[in-house]
Amino acid sequence: MTTALNLHEEVASALRDGHPVVALESTILSHGLPAGRNLDVARRLEGVVRDGGAVPATIAVLDGRVVVGLSPAELERVCAPDAGLDKLSLRDLGPAVGLGRSGATTVASTSALAAAAGIGMFATGGLGGVHVGAAQSWDVSADLGVLAKVPTVVVCSGVKSVLDIPATLEVLETNSVPVLGYRTGDFPAFYLRSSGHQVGWRVDDPKQAAAVIDAHRAYADSGVLLANPIPEASEMDKELHDRLLAEGLALVEAQGVHGADVTPVLLEHFHTASGGVSIDANEALVLNNAKLATEVAVALA
Ligand code: PSU
Ligand code: MN
């Protein structure tokens, strides 16, 4: 697999020297945030990682090349309004590379590529999960199955409340993925600090998180979910959130949206209907996750 990865020189040398590296995904940039805002967030994410003493490695597929650690020009390309990138889950990597295509990587593909590159830590916004109505549609994000198989630590703010959260937690359990609440016993729900569902374990500082991750790796090959709630000051108003969610789900239903398009369409509705409030929330939580991932990566190194 190594020959199939193109590591940025800075990332390669950090890995050689045992310096902490934090992986970042590109789907959140190309499909999760509006163009015009995404590049700024992308740069700030990398800045947070650097300020914390680690090397950022944003991952994407460009012209059939898997790139681990984008150059500034490549980051601009991924965030361009006319980038036209496909959303690439792990199943899509072979086709995209084989056909010389370009695309953004999801949590599933970013986790797998990070692991293949030797990067253990990955920060993002929200994990994919079990969709409402999955008993009929079978729509369960590959993010969950991939974390069963790759030892990547994913730092995120839980999953969005557009998903079936208890079912998502069950599938994580089935896949032997420990879910750690960071300074909370509640599983976060992305825009909201609590989903009302409990996590299995709680850690209260980066050292504790590192100790748990280190121990987990001795017994299992699965990933770890470190669930970090959105900062209090940026949490969305619950009523606004619930209204947008109901509207968004109705929209998806009315337009017959399904599969990989569901998450981007729902996010877009939140962003436009909230007048940008959800974009600010999204940015705040993902920056906070990059900061925590860096602290834990430094503690592990
Ligand atoms: N959740 C968000 N924003 C996102 C995503 C999830 O709040 O951008 C993206 C991530 O890349 C995640 C993917 O891996 O959506 C899950 O998509 P699906 O449900 O189609 O597997
Ligand atoms: Mn899906």
CA distances from 35 to 41, 82, 198, 215, 257 (A): 10, 9, 35, 40, 22
Q: Say if residue 165 is in the same domain as residue 138.
A: yes
Contacts of 169 (CB under 8 A, 6+ apart): 179, 187, 197, 199
Q: Check if 27 has its Cβ closer than 6 Å to any atom of ligand 1.
A: yes
Q: Check if 163 has its Cβ closer than 6 Å to any atom of ligand 1.
A: no
Q: Could you give the dihedral angle defined by the CA atoms of residues 158, 160, 166 and 169, in that order, rounded to the nearest 10 degrees?
A: -30
The pLDDT value given to residue 162: 85
Q: What is the mean pLDDT of residues 72-81?
A: 97
Q: Say if residue 170 is in the same domain as residue 234.
A: yes
Per-residue pLDDT reduced to its tens digit, 181-199? 999 999 999 999 999 999 9
| Confidence grade of residue 1 (pLDDT, cut at 50, 70, 90) | very low
Q: Say if residue 132 is in the same domain as residue 268.
A: yes
Q: Say if residue 155 is in the same domain as residue 98.
A: no
Select from 119, 140, 155 the last residue of a domain. 119
Residue with tokens 């940015």: 283
Per-residue pLDDT reduced to its tens digit, 47-72? 999 999 999 999 999 999 999 999 99
Q: Check if 289 has its Cβ closer than 6 Å to any atom of ligand 1.
A: no
Select from 119, 150, 183 the last residue of a domain. 119
2-13 exposure pattern, b = at least 16 Cβ within 10 A, e = fewer: eeebebbeebbe
Select from 119, 138, 171 the last residue of a domain. 119
Question: Closest Cα to atom 18, ligand 1: which residue?
Answer: 141
ipTM of the assembly? 0.96
Is the pLDDT assigned to residue 2 strictly greater than 80?
Answer: no
Q: Say if residue 257 is in the same domain as residue 172.
A: yes
Q: Say if residue 187 is in the same domain as residue 76.
A: no
| Count of structural domains, the chain | 2
Tokens of 113: 């590529």
Question: Cα(133) to centroid of ligand 2, in Å?
Answer: 12
Q: Say if residue 98 is in the same domain as residue 225.
A: no
Average pLDDT, the chain: 96
Is the pLDDT assigned to residue 259 strictly greater than 90?
Answer: no
Mutate to test the pocket of ligand 1, among 28, 78, 147, 162 (most ligand atoms within 8 A of CB): 28
Q: What is the mean pLDDT of residues 160-182?
A: 96
Is the pLDDT assigned to residue 107 strictly greater than 60?
Answer: yes
Question: Cα(272) to centroid of ligand 1, in Å?
Answer: 18
Tokens of 254: 């009315």
Does 238 count as an annotated binding residue?
Answer: no
Q: Say if residue 143 is in the same domain as residue 216.
A: yes
Backbone conformation region of residue 70, classed left if phi is above 0, alpha if psi is from -120 to 50, else beta? beta
Q: Give residue 13's domain range.
A: 1-119
Per-residue pLDDT reduced to its tens digit, 202-211? 999 999 999 9
Q: Say if residue 90 is in the same domain as residue 196.
A: no
Question: Closest Cα to atom 21, ligand 1: which residue?
Answer: 141
The pLDDT value given to residue 3: 55
In this structure, are residues 251 and 269 in contact, taking their beta carbons and an 8 Å threshold?
Answer: yes
Per-residue pLDDT reduced to its tens digit, 21-49? 999 999 999 999 999 999 999 999 999 99
Q: Say if residue 69 is in the same domain as residue 183.
A: no
HSE, side-chain direction, 13 A CA sphere, residue 172:
26
- Which positions are annotated as active-site residues? 25, 160
Q: Say if residue 96 is in the same domain as residue 196.
A: no
38 alpha-carbon distance from chain centroid: 15
What's phi and psi for 187, nearest 5 deg?
A: -75, 125
Q: What is the mean pLDDT of residues 170-182?
A: 98
Is the pLDDT assigned to residue 258 strictly greater than 90?
Answer: no
Q: Say if residue 74 is in the same domain as residue 140.
A: no
CATH of the domain at 225: 3.40.1790.10
Beta-carbon count within 10 A of 218 CB: 6
